[in-house]
A = this chain, B = another copy of it.
Amino acid sequence: MEKEELFETVADLLVKGDYSRLRTILLELEPFDLAEICEQLNESHLPLVFRLLPKDLAAECFSNMQSDLQELLIKRMSDAELKAMLDEMFVDDTVDVIEEMPANVAARMLANSDPETREQINKILNYPKDSAGSIMTTEYVRLNKNMSVADAFARIRRVGYEKETIYTCYVTESDRTLVGVVTAMDLMLAEIDTLISELMETNVISAKTDDDRESVVKKFSDYNFLALPVVDNSNRLVGIVTVDDAIDVALEEATEDLEIMAGITPTDKPYLKTGVISTWLSRVPWLMLLMLSATLTGAIISKYEEALSHLVILTSFIPMLMGTAGNAGGQSSVTVIRALSLGDIEPGDIFRVLWKELRVSFLCGVSLAIVGYFKAMWIDGADPLVALVVCITLFATVVSAKLVGCCFPVLIKKIGFDPAVVASPFITTVIDALALVVYFAVATAVIPSL
């Protein structure tokens, strides 16, 4: 509500041309809220609003916008304006924008960055997707271990405005080897003439440039840092990841995992900002793949056509049996995939995982078999032999589905793929086929007339 009112006021002042009151209101806002307002504005008003903002707020507001709006704004900026804004932006935000821009806009952004920044941008752009290097920024406060606390404060006051955080400062040798970390809290609580070397924490926890960004989030969660240093293979400091980016990565990774498990190719864009065609393209390949893989289940049923035509009631249990097997396997695979992402288990734990799932699946299998037997008899009105077939099948498929569901993700991770991507369609197909094969095998063994 409040946001809508605010937008009305802004739109109103724009029409009236009361720019001084407008500016006062805009200056009060957080960059995120400003960006939201800009997205709702008439395109023709946008450059005007943008020019009313002080440079640093304009840059932060720009960093918070959706990429289509960023593109539009860049196209309307002169080279001088673009350069001024890029100077104010943090390097990691610039990289995020460049990644979403068409080639010609990206090239123009690079051309208007100052040479040192351009080099840093290119370096970050070259790190693998989803690596620590790709989400880091190069703007951090670097201290020298021979400085005093007073020197450190002086340095922070001089360079602090341009840095993404001043709350964690990094102590390096002249060759940029990372030797220590000092927090602003340490500095504030210390005597003014203490040496940084006495104050710094030397047992530094860091990430390597090609570490997975999920492991970066895990470090933030484990150690409660506000920033994490990123080093190269010789322990030279190349950048830092700040906690605000770690939160965004945590949310993005979770969304990605959910989407992948639901058979959707992940996108970065919010739901309502994604076009119909791209939503379709992100969904239809998985539906096709799973539909085609169902050829297997169809073939198994066709093979037992004869038996089914003798005893049609068997057909009525197929959806329940396949569904239960699928649910049982899904529980295990989702749990294991998530535990792998959170670092709760490693591929080396496979035997502990198997042993646990074996016992859980035994308990689940027995409970479902018992309830399933009486359900088949009393609710579905099957005869005792058919109920027995259902009961045995339930037990066998729940156990095997859970074992398949827990092993596959671990094995897939072990050979270096993303368990979420590979596991779902593969596991579904295997478990569906398994359920049918077990069902028909048990049926033909138990019921003499088949």
Contact = CB atoms under 8 A, between A and B. Distances in A.
Interface of A: 28-30, 32, 153, 156-157, 160-161, 166-167, 184-185, 188-189, 202-203, 205, 217, 220-226, 243-244, 246-248, 250-251, 253-255, 257-259, 261-264, 270-272, 276-277, 279-280, 283-284, 286-288, 290-292, 294-295, 297-299, 301-302, 305, 308-309, 312-313, 315-320, 322-324, 327-328, 330-331, 334-336, 338-339, 342, 344-345, 349, 352-353, 356, 359-360, 363-364, 367-368, 371-372, 375, 379-380, 394, 398, 428, 432, 436
A319 B394 CA distance: 17
B220 A371 contact: no
Given A189-B161, A244-B220, A372-B291, A335 B264 contact: yes
In the A-B complex, list the 4 residue pairs whose CB atoms are closest, starting with the nearest: A254-B254, A294-B320, A224-B244, A262-B334
Contacts of A299: 316, 380
B364 A283 contact: yes
Contacts of A243: 226, 243-244, 247
Given A220-B247, A263-B327, A291-B323, 15 more contacts: A160-B188, A167-B184, A243-B244, A257-B258, A258-B334, A261-B262, A264-B334, A287-B328, A292-B375, A295-B379, A297-B323, A298-B316, A298-B317, A301-B319, A319-B322
A77 B379 CA distance: 57
11 contacts: A30-B203, A188-B188, A250-B250, A250-B251, A251-B342, A263-B330, A263-B331, A271-B335, A272-B353, A287-B364, A291-B368
Nearest to A246: B247
Main secondary structure of the interface of A (DSSP, over half): helix
A184 B188 contact: yes
A67 to B, nearest CB: 15
B167 A221 contact: no
Nearest to A309: B312
A412 to B, nearest CB: 17
Nearest to A367: B284
Contact of A320 (B223, B280, B297, B336): B297
